[in-house]
């Protein structure tokens, strides 16, 4: 497992609050780590805007430790912790299964950190960071793919997209945001499953499309959507050639 010591700047008020949550969980005997996008953005030299926390503490234990919490997805292991003027997603390490609607799991089983990241979407989003030890934990090769500028599913692409069809569009969104290429097996599976995007609610599709449109590399996003078939699946009556000529 590759890992490295990469200090994260925790001087901002929001980052300092996130650290306090991790520290309190740690002092109570639980493992707690920064997870996902904040770790990715830090390694890319950007200042994270959000700090998600993954922990061995269960939702009930999180509620006991912190005075202000919101059980936004308690049945899935997800809580919001409110501290000062900020709110943070604190999620229990877990594995999921029994997906019934192409988006939400039928059951959740609490697990360890390595099992948790094995079920996340893309390697660049599967990185963990211990702010106390100032150490990156990389169980999925995320640092290598960040350096190579690649969006790659964690594990089997077919399994990852079967679990959550919105990931088809999220892959394009991250490629457009970061100016990354989509790895070949991941890309093949996106093209194979493009029409399945309509299993996802229109609201969630809209949210992803807005992020693509507002991304730094919008043309790349539109190009990937048309070449994958996602555009045609979502906008069956709009010729993608019209959009591509807007470059």
Tokens representing 100 are: 């019934």
| DSSP-based helix, strand, coil % in the chain, nearest 5 | 45, 20, 35
pLDDT at 108: 79
E strands present in the chain? 3-4, 32-35, 52-55, 69-73, 78-83, 86-92, 94-97, 107-110, 128-130, 135-137, 150-151, 181-182
State the pLDDT confidence band at 95, using cuts at 50, 70 and 90: confident
Pairing of strands 52-55, 86-92: parallel
CATH C-level class of 1-148 = alpha beta
| Tens digit of each residue's pLDDT (9 = 90 or more) over 193-242 | 999 999 999 999 999 999 999 999 999 999 999 999 999 999 988 776 66
Residue ranges per structural domain of the chain = 1-148, 149-247
Both structure tokens of 55: 């922990």
Length of the chain: 247
> How high is the mean pLDDT of the chain?
91
For residues 230 and 197, the answer to whether their CB atoms sit within 8 Å is: yes
The CATH number of the domain covering residues in 149-247: 1.10.3090.10
What is the pTM for the complete model shown? 0.91
What pLDDT does 239 receive? 75
Residue 2 has pLDDT above 50, yes or no: no
SS (H, E, C) 109-168: EECCHHHHHHCCCEHHHCCEEECCCCEEECCCCHHHHHHHCEECECCCHHHHHHHCCCHH
158 versus 5: which is more confidently predicted?
158
CA nearest 1: which of 107, 113, 92, 98? 113
Bigger pLDDT: 237 or 138? Answer: 138
């Amino acid at each position: 497992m590759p890992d490295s010591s990469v200090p994260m700047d925790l001087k901002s008020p929001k980052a300092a609050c996130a650290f306090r949550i991790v520290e309190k969980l740690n002092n109570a005997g639980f493992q707690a780590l920064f997870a996902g996008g904040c770790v990715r953005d830090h390694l890319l030299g950007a200042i994270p805007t959000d700090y998600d926390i993954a922990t061995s503490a269960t939702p009930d234990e999180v509620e006991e430790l912190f005075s202000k919490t919101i059980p936004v997805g308690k049945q899935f292991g997800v809580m919001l912790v409110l501290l000062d003027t900020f709110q943070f997603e604190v999620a229990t390490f877990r594995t999921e299964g029994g997906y019934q609607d192409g988006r939400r799991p039928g059951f959740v089983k609490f697990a360890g950190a390595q099992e948790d990241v094995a079920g996340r979407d893309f390697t660049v989003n599967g990185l963990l960071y211990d702010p106390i030890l100032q150490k990156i934990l990389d169980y999925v090769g995320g640092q290598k793919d960040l350096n190579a500028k690649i969006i790659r599913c964690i594990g089997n692409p077919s399994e990852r997209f079967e679990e959550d069809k919105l990931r088809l569009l999220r892959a394009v969104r991250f490629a457009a945001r970061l100016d990354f290429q989509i790895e070949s097996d991941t890309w093949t599976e996106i093209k194979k499953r493009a029409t399945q995007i309509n299993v996802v609610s229109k609201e969630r599709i809209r949210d992803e499309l807005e992020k693509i449109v507002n991304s730094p590399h919008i043309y790349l996003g539109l190009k990937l959507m048309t070449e994958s078939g996602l555009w045609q699946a979502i906008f069956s009556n709009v010729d993608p050639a019209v959009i591509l000529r807007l470059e």
